[in-house]
Structure 1
Amino acid sequence: MSGKVILHYFNGRGKMESIRWLLTVAEAEFDEYYLTDREQYLKLLNEGSLMFQQVPLVEIDGLKLVQTKAILHYIAEKYNLYGKDIKERAMINMYAEGLIDHMEMIMVLPFVTDTKPKLDNIQSKAKERYLPVFEKALTGPVYLVGGKLSLADVLLVECTLMLEEKFPDILKEFPNIKSFQGRMIRIPAISRFLQPGSKRKPQPDEDYVKTVKEVFNITGPFP
């Protein structure tokens, strides 16, 4: 019997948050070890736990997994959230990678001095490039791929909630997505995850940014 899943990351959203979301929907228990200083990061490096010298790191089934997409794919496959065949997995991957691309634009905001141009770009890309794809895909179907909950659905609800934190009315022109979001947040595991005191992380603050910079020894502008 495999033990509990262990996450190694900062006490904040970043690239680990999608992994937390997926584990939550899979109802898989997990513990977290937070990086708070550079010594902890160097220890993981010296142990050989970080293949590309990067986190997230997830310990699961006796494996030490890095690279966010690889981790998400493993969890999705393990918990039957990855479609029924190769064609469905291809669709799930396309949707998921588009959503990850867009969420990464939001993730860098706390590290940027002048956020307005970034926010304007995020909003225009959301309305013109990303959300129309999902609005069309959800004309009729309850879920994005194969009539069944998948990784793509989990990332979409995460992304829409992140967008609404920055642009509260952004889904007004996308009723299918808003309806989808409403269905998703009623799933018991997601409903609990959205309550105060859950393992969901708040929006990044100055302490989060300071810790990330200290751990990675970044003294100048964030790359």
Structure 2
Amino acid sequence: MAGKPKLYYFDGRGKMESIRWLLAAAGVEFEEKFLETREQYEKLLQSGSLLFQQVPLVEIDGMKMVQTRAILNYIAGKYNLYGKDLKERAWIDMYVEGTTDLMGMIMQLPLQSAEMREKNLALIIERAKTRYFPVYEKALKDHGHDYLVGNKFSWADIQLLEAILMVEECKPDILSAFPQLQAFKGRISNIPTIKKFLQPGSQRKPPADDKYIANRGKCCLTSVRFHFPQLLLKYL
């Protein structure tokens, strides 16, 4: 019998958080190996486990998987959270890409100066209200189902809830103009596996703080702060 998946990353959200969400929602227990020193990161590099010299790294089913999207695709497919056919998978992909863009903008905030953070926080809230959340609100209203795709719980629902909660950390009343999303949040949050993941003491991680950013910079070959302007452009 295969053991629990092992997740190699920093002790924080980053790109690993959506992987944690997906595994937890599928009811899969997993272990975490946190990178806390440069030596741990170098050891992974020297082992050849990091195909492109980057984490996240997930050991699952005898594989050492890298690249966030590849990992998420595999988990979603393995646990029947990726639609019943190509058309449903295409819709799931589109919805997931939208939430990925929105969450990516939020993940960059801790890397910014106070002035830039205030400016880009306003941009995130504006984009959530006018570009992203209206899409999901309309989808739920138009088809009248509990879930985004095929009237069946999928990866798209899991990641949308993750995105909603992240935006609410920036602006608690962000859903005031989106009644469908309010109801959706309540439904998905009460799915037993997700409800468990949302409880205190779970493997869900808090928003990034200065300690987390400093640890990432210490472990990586270069400071994440150095790359921030280029990273931000990807999400605008």
Shared fold (TM-score, shorter chain, > 0.5):
yes
Q: How does 1:19-98 map to 2 (within 5 A)?
A: 19-98=19-98
Tell me the secondary structure at the aligned position of residue 80 of structure 1.
coil
C-alpha separation in 1, matches of 2:59 and 2:224: 32
Q: Deviations over 1:161-195 (max 9, x none)?
A: 00001100100011101100000111111111111
Distance 1:207 1:92, change over 3 A: same
Q: CA deviation at 1:221?
A: 3.5
Tell me the secondary structure at the aligned position of residue 138 of structure 1.
helix
C-alpha separation in 1, matches of 2:178 and 2:204: 25
The count of corresponding residues between Structure 1 and Structure 2 is: 223
Paired position in structure 1 for 2:184: 180
For residue 72 of structure 1, what is the amino acid of its counterpart?
A: L
C-alpha separation in 2, matches of 1:84 and 1:30: 26
Paired position in structure 1 for 2:233: none
Can you give the 5+ residue segments of structure 2 that lack an aligned partner in the other structure?
228-236
Paired position in structure 1 for 2:140: 138
Q: How does 1:150-189 map to 2 (within 5 A)?
A: 150-189=154-193
C-alpha separation in 1, matches of 2:222 and 2:32: 24
Q: CA deviation at 1:155?
A: 0.2
Compute the TM-score of the two structures, normalised by the length of structure 1.
Answer: 0.97
Compute the TM-score of the two structures, normalised by the length of structure 2.
Answer: 0.92
Q: CA deviation at 1:203?
A: 1.2
Distance 1:156 1:220, change over 3 A: closer
Q: Deviations over 1:105-161 (max 9, x none)?
A: 111111111310110111111111100100001111110001101110000000000
Q: CA deviation at 1:218?
A: 3.3
Distance 1:220 1:104, change over 3 A: closer
> Does the Cα contact within 8 Å between 2:216 and 2:224 map onto a contact in 1?
no
C-alpha separation in 1, matches of 2:159 and 2:186: 14
Identity %: 58
Alignment RMSD (CA, Å): 1.0
